[in-house]
Amino acid sequence: MARFKLSIEYEGTRYSGWQIQKNARTVQGELASALGSVLDTTDFELYGAGRTDAGVHALQQIAHLEAKTMLAPEILRRKINDELPADINVLGIRKAAPQFHARHDAVSRSYLYQISRRRTAFGKRLVWWIKDRLEVDRMRAAANLFAGLKDFRSFTADDPEEKSTKVHIEQIEIREHGDLILIRFVGSHFLWKMVRQVVGVLAEVGRGKLSLDQASAFLERQSDQPAKLTAPPSGLFLERVYYEGDEKLEILEPVMAVASEPRQ
């Protein structure tokens, strides 16, 4: 048996998330099917760095594969891609140490969220279009509230009684690019639906419908309000999974540019 590290990109629109589920089409399920065809066996382990929800995309998901094969990594990559649908692509495969674990060895992760301030013919599946005017400076001020080690029990569908809801957010960066608002989250880990619920609150602050004090209160006492404001999965991308020694991305760029709408 040999262990490999896989880098994978996918558009999640057609899938019920990363993880294999019964009676649902998933990214891991498609990869496992492709691997079964290439390796002519189901005797392998495929484990991702983390789950992504239904409709969420990945610019670089990481997985480890343990399998018996004589194929060189690049040949294996090409053969797997030949079996995959067009919206899933293996970017790279390389041999990994026998003890490498895609999830347990990760030290941090980054997510990108794209909000479009105009209707777009091309990027509907990759953005959240918000018609209302958004004050980006107010959103940045609200984002600062979430930096550091905070209790995100109001921002997750996870059960606080079963799992710690404390998360260390290293950075939330917000940048304007044409008619896009890009939001990058970097943190140790993320709870179920946490990023989308924080984005929903930031958008509500940007609309002027929530004050900074109201947003801050969600961190101080449990509230079901963030769940009601959950941003759609279309705009969310798992951007990177970081391991010891990896350099963090510095430039914040859109997945697909949405040009500024011509002004009359």
70-116 confidence digits (pLDDT tens): 999 999 999 999 999 999 999 999 999 999 999 999 999 999 999 99
| pLDDT digit string, tens, across residues 28-64 | 999 999 999 999 999 999 999 999 999 999 999 999 9
| pLDDT digit string, tens, across residues 206-255 | 999 999 999 999 999 999 999 999 999 999 999 999 999 999 998 999 99
Assign 67 a pLDDT band (cuts: 50, 70, 90).
Answer: very high
Considering the domain 107-243 in this protein, what is its CATH number? 3.30.70.660
Spell out the residues 6+ positions from residue 107 whose beta carbon is closer than 8 angstroms to its own: 188, 242, 243, 244, 246
53, 159, 213, 224: the catalytic one is 53
Q: Decide if 2-95 and 107-243 have a common fold.
A: yes
Per domain, the residue ranges of the chain are 2-95, 107-243
Look up the pTM and report it: 0.94
| pLDDT digit string, tens, across residues 249-259 | 989 999 975 65
Alpha helices in the chain (DSSP H): 27-39, 73-83, 136-144, 194-207, 212-220, 225-228
Contacts by residues 127-132 (CB-CB < 8 Å, ≥ 24 positions apart): 127/180, 127/234, 127/235, 127/258, 128/199, 128/203, 128/231, 128/232, 128/234, 128/235, 130/203, 130/207, 132/207
Q: Is residue 261 scored above 60 in pLDDT?
A: no
Our answer to whether residue 53 is catalytic in this structure is yes
SS3 (DSSP) at 39:
helix
SS3 (DSSP) at 66:
strand
What architecture is domain 2-95?
2-Layer Sandwich (3.30)
